[in-house]
A and B are shown apart, each in its own frame.
Chain A
Amino acid sequence: MNAYVGTPTSRVDGRAKVTGAAKYAGEFTAEGLVHGFVVEATIPRGRIVRLDTGEALKVAGVLDVLTHTNRPSLADKDEAWKDEVAPEGSPFRPLYDDLIRFNGQPIALVVAEEWETAKFAATLVRIDYEQDGFATDLEAERGSAREMDKPHEPRGDAKAALAAAPLRHEADYLIPTEHHNPMELYATTTVWESDGKLTVYDKTQGVQNVQKFLCGVFDKKPEEIRVLSPYVGGAFGSGLRPQYQVVLATLAALALKRSVRVVLTRQQMYGLGYRPMTIEHVALGARPDGTLDAVSHEAIAVTSRYEDFSRNDTGWAEQLYKSPNSHFSHKLVDLDVSTPCDMRAPGAATGVLALECAMDELAVALKLDPIELRLKCYSDRDQSEDLPYTSKQLRECYARGAEAFGWARRAPAPRSMRDGKELIGWGMATGVWEALQMPVAVRIVLTANGHAEVSCAASDIGTGTYTIVAQVAADALGLPIENISVRLADSTLPQAPVEGGSWMAASSAHAVLGAAEDIRQELARLAKAMPGSPLANLDAADVTLVDGMIASDGKDGAAVSIADVMRHSKLERIEKEKLNQFTEDKSHARNTHSAVFAEVKVDEELGVIRVTRVVSAVAAGRILNTKTGRSQIMGSVVWGIGMALHEETMMDHRFGRIMNANIAEYHIPVNADIHDIDVIFVDEPDSRINRMGIKGLGEIGIVGVPAAIANAVYHATGKRIRRFPITLDKLLD
């Protein structure tokens, strides 16, 4: 029964969000709530030699200034500080010691009755440093890059094949540091309950991750800390790991035995994680017919000195393009910066950008249409493990996208299409991401009034988890969606991992199915047992929940209402909780794919670039909600436009300091930069990946977009910009 799944169902939390009824972490309040304001380091590396809080403490309304010298106890083992998605290394510990590891590091928390008081007093904290030599420039430090474990085993001899290839393209592509800039500021309200327990409202993508982390850091029992994050105003990966404000708010609450809220400023959020600047070196060796002999992809990325953050930038050619020889390498440069973190399609957004620009350059060299080149190299198997795919409708993405875009009318030569003063460029690129799934548990409470509450610790970071959970539950329970209420993002609810990696749609939907199946079984059992039940002779497997009834699957029309069954059984509620585990299946590769087509118009004299059309054809299994799904892809496309043309965190390496830490100067697209965006969902039935055939949409929408735009800019202008973002100065002669 699919009344809701697969339809453009509006967000069930939409009304709450637009009316302000939805509360975010920094909006919860408590009796006697006080406010913390963070004091940050202004040097990138060194030691605090003096920290004078005297003046700050004299300000009326200031309650305390917490520093490494006077704070309550914090765990001293790295293990306690490692959250479930921490990379290798020694996690950052705020206010732990006198060492400065990055510019913008929190070094004190001023706590006051009013936020403004705390902010003012923070300016009175005097800090003297002993500054050490530091380095923050990836390009300058490229020589010190060290090899990480190989993301993929090499195949054949790429070096020899490249040397022997009749045609070779080789280049560096440079993607700058980028920051997430979610609309909601990072915030935590830690409520000191009367029994000394803590209720922590935190902006996070994983409440149970934060809960376990806080228990470790503060040596608390699980029942002493509860973490909630009912609504999240965007996070995009920045909230996968617990951020430092949750430690500081909780530290202050413990120190003062009061409820404390800490909200970071926009500027302070540039001291959190980011997409690391990466130099992508791609080499492709090809034959004149457009088949590949060798692929080599090396990434050199930034990490901090205390953790090794790296993602799969380089392996994507293994999924996309057939080549007998391949070589991949990922190197890190340790710099005096904070640790990078996941940002929408981490690794792929950057790595595929380079790969797909390189493929475009190869197509130009081969005088092949870019789609034709990709079809010539099309791989039906994931070459790294030599596996077939559970499904891969990428060919169909190329075809449907090209058709919708009008690709056949493209004149191949650069600078050959024009509209008045503007050069027109058409470019395309492939997108690829993983289809991951994780264990998730869900509890369903069905009440006799025909209402069901579905609950799970998973977060909805704006992606629509509330809505798809309600849709799947409504269909599985045969109830109208209005009768489903969904509770999420409370650490006391059934288990869920952090919401990330595009895994939550498939994972939560199947958890709902599992719990709903138990409800159905229970109702079937009760229905059969009713005196004179029309279902008495049916097997439980032969009844379905539909329209509030327990109905026979046969043509006899036999059915009894859920309400009647529960009344007869004298039950007010049926409660089922189930953990869904996906069967491990290493026989197939699981990926989502897309083909992205972009039209740019470039003012020939002024270099002003407009992305006038984007068509994104996505194959991502079954689409649970075509409305929120389409929005996901559109938002990703907008971000891809920003990645291609606007986004860049600028650091002055003399100070080791970010100089555009605000959203006036850190540019993202505005409405005027956005034109037509056409989203096509290509049918991709997949009975192997999971029962419902779901793959997830969170990441795939951005992958390929910046490359399609960069390739379109080349087609328009004849200029190949390999240093992102493509700002207009790079197009002026």
Chain B
Amino acid sequence: MNNFQYSRASDVADAIRLLAADPGAKLIAGGTNLIDLMKENVERPSRLIDISRLPLRDIEETADGGLRIGALVPNSDLAYHPLIEQRYPLLASAILAGASAQLRNMASVGGNLMQRTRCAYFYDTTTPCNKRSPGTGCSARDGLNRNHAILGTSTSCIATNPSDMSVALAALGALVHIAGRTGERTVALTDFHRLPDDKPHLDTNLGSGEIITAIELPPQGFARNYSYLKIRDRLSYAFALVSVAAAIELEGNAISEARLALGGVAHKPWRSPEAEAALRGQAATPDHFGRAADLLLQGATARSHNGFKIELARRAVVRALIQATNATPQSQAHKKIA
């Protein structure tokens, strides 16, 4: 770990000022990922700006019937909040599929959006990695890449985004509220994270000097027909090989609205308008689910060890949609895949 300065922001504007004053500064809230990365010398901030005491911990209803979630709400508070449990159980489920209880207690919502890839080469400062050290090359492309991306990759990077929460937020059409020197702006969650292209060192479109202040959920919560299905190498406390956030509205057996997002397969939560459109108006049958899965996975490519993810993702999408249709979502507490 490097030596660093520590500042405590007194309010959001102060945090923005402090960020502007020190280009090497990083915001810290729960620190569950940043501290790890600092211990590994992957992140070497010159200054930590502690925002954990800022008043961004409210969960409040918006005028249009959605919810606004403060960026510092702990992941576990969010997952167990009655309004989330009742109206956005997909989000609650995704959060509970991630990390451990202890980590969820510490981790903030904004921090979850900012967590970095678990690519082993990114973590190991002795190996080339374009994300960590731009221009050094990607060790994963021809290395150990069983956990790596199959969609949206570039020659520079095949890392995945490890968040579960973000996958559900992507499916739910969440918005990210951002404050910066020039004021506030809002971006769709699906536009918040970026694909690696030739700049894999940039995980998100958050500008330097900007801070996430809140996540906004639109009114439609898919509280009846949803499932978050996470497939991993052990039944808990592992990152997703593949995860699926599935949410549908049913009229009889016909799908009137559908959302599908994949985790563990790309540099960002992966959605496909075509796949979702293909489900709308169709009967909720495994055949239609399979077709949607194929559309969602269109263009998927594998490296030496991660080819299985394409078929696994396809099957997981179908299973998650069946679970959603039957209103029997995957439980994150049961020791089995339903």
Complex CA distance for A120 and B2, rounded to whole angstroms: 6
Stretch from B119-127, B196-204, B271-279 at the A interface: B119-127
CB contact list, A663-683 vs B, under 8 A: 664-665, 667, 669-673, 675
List, in ascending order, chain A residues with CB within 8 A of B241's CB.
Answer: 728-729
Q: Does B231 contact A (CB under 8 A)?
A: yes
Chain A residues closer than 8 Å to B3, beta-carbon distance: 120
Pick from A23-31, A451-459, A600-608 the stretch touching chain B: A600-608
Q: Does A533 touch B at the CB level, under 8 Å?
A: no
CB neighbours of B319 from chain A (8 A): 605-606
State whether the Cβ of B220 lies closer than 8 Å to any Cβ in chain A.
Answer: no
Closest to B2 in A: A120
Q: Is the CB of B1 within 8 A of A673?
A: no
Give CA–CA (A669, B238) in the complex, Å: 10
Q: Given A667-B233, A729-B146, A733-B311, are A610 and B336 neighbors across the interface (CB < 8 Å)? A: yes
Q: Interface residues of A, CB < 8 Å — how many?
A: 37
Say yes or no for A42: interface residue by CB 8 A criterion.
Answer: yes
Q: A606-B319, A665-B118, A733-B311 are in contact. Are A655 and B126 (CB under 8 A)?
A: yes
Interface residues of B (CB under 8 A from A): 1-3, 41, 118, 120-121, 124, 126-127, 139, 142-144, 146, 231, 233-238, 241, 308, 311-312, 315-316, 318-319, 335-337
Given contacts A120-B2, A422-B336, A652-B143, 8 further A-B contacts (CB under 8 A): A421-B337, A605-B319, A655-B127, A667-B238, A670-B237, A672-B237, A673-B235, A729-B146
Contacts of B142 in A (CB 8 A): 654
- The answer on a CB contact under 8 Å between A652 and B41 is no
CB contacts (< 8 Å) of B237 on chain A: these are: 670, 672
Given contacts A605-B319, A606-B315, A733-B311, is CB(A727)–CB(B233) below 8 Å?
Answer: yes
Nearest CB in chain A: distance from B320 CB, A: 10
Report the separation of the CA atoms of residues A606 and B316 in the bound assembly, to the nearest whole angstrom.
7
Instruction: Render A708-733 as a binary contact track against B, CB cut-off 8 A, 1 for contact.
Output: 00000000000000000001110011
Q: Inside 8 A of B127's CB, which chain A residues have their CB?
A: 652, 655, 657
By beta carbon, the residue of chain B nearest A605 is B315
Distance between A654 CB and nearest chain B CB, rounded to angstroms: 7
Mask of A144-185 contacts with B, CB within 8 angstroms, 1/0: 000000000000000000000000000000000000000000
A116 beta carbon closer than 8 Å to chain B: yes
CA distance A673 to B337 in the complex (A): 12
- By a CB distance below 8 angstroms, the chain A residues around B139 are 652, 654-655
Give, as a whole number of angstroms, the nearest-CB distance from B300 to chain A: 15
- B118 contacts which of A608, A646, A664, A729 (Cβ < 8 Å)? A664
Q: Given A123-B41, A607-B312, A657-B127, answer yes or no on A601-B233 (Cβ-Cβ < 8 Å).
A: no
**Which A residues fall within an 8 A CB radius of B?**
42, 116, 119-120, 123, 421-422, 601, 603, 605-608, 610, 645-646, 650, 652, 654-655, 657, 659-660, 664-665, 667, 669-673, 675, 727-729, 732-733
What is the minimal beta-carbon distance from A664 to any residue of chain B, in angstroms?
Answer: 7
Contact A123 B234 (CB under 8 A): no
Asked if residues B311 and A654 are in contact (CB atoms below 8 Å), the reply is no
- Give Cα A213 to B155, complex, Å: 52
Inter-subunit contact A120/B1 (CB<8 Å): yes
How far is it, in angstroms, between the C-alpha of A212 and the C-alpha of B208 when the chains are bound? 59
21 A-B pairs whose Cβ atoms sit less than 8 Å apart in the complex: A120-B1, A123-B2, A605-B315, A605-B318, A606-B231, A606-B315, A646-B234, A652-B139, A652-B144, A654-B139, A654-B143, A655-B126, A657-B124, A659-B143, A659-B144, A670-B236, A672-B237, A672-B335, A728-B233, A729-B312, A732-B311
CA distance A646 to B238 in the complex (A): 11
